[in-house]
Amino acid sequence: MLMICIIVLQSCTKVALDFVSPENVGQCFHLTEEFRKLPVNHSSAEDKLEVKKMIIHAMVDVVNMLEKT
């Protein structure tokens, strides 16, 4: 697991695009379930990657592409 710490010295806007390769979706989903078991006030309890939403949006894109063909 890669952990990144960023110190912000000036006002800024962070823009990020999360990507999960298809072969790693299962592992990310498993980690999401593990995070849910943490206490509510734990700093890692928040689902930052939102893998379930990523899967839903990917499936919607696939269905839309299939409907166009």
Residue 8 lies in a domain: no
Q: At 61, is the pLDDT very low, low, confident or very high (cuts 50, 70, 90)? A: very high
Single-letter code of the amino acid located at 7: I
Q: Which of 56, 29, 54 is nearest to 64 (CA)?
A: 56
Residue 64 lies in a domain: yes
The tens digit of pLDDT for each residue in 28-39 reads 889 888 888 888
Domain count, the chain: 1
User: What global pTM score does this model have?
Assistant: 0.57
Residue 14 lies in a domain: no
pLDDT of 62 strictly over 80 = yes
Name the residue range of residue 47's domain.
22-68
Residue 31 lies in a domain: yes
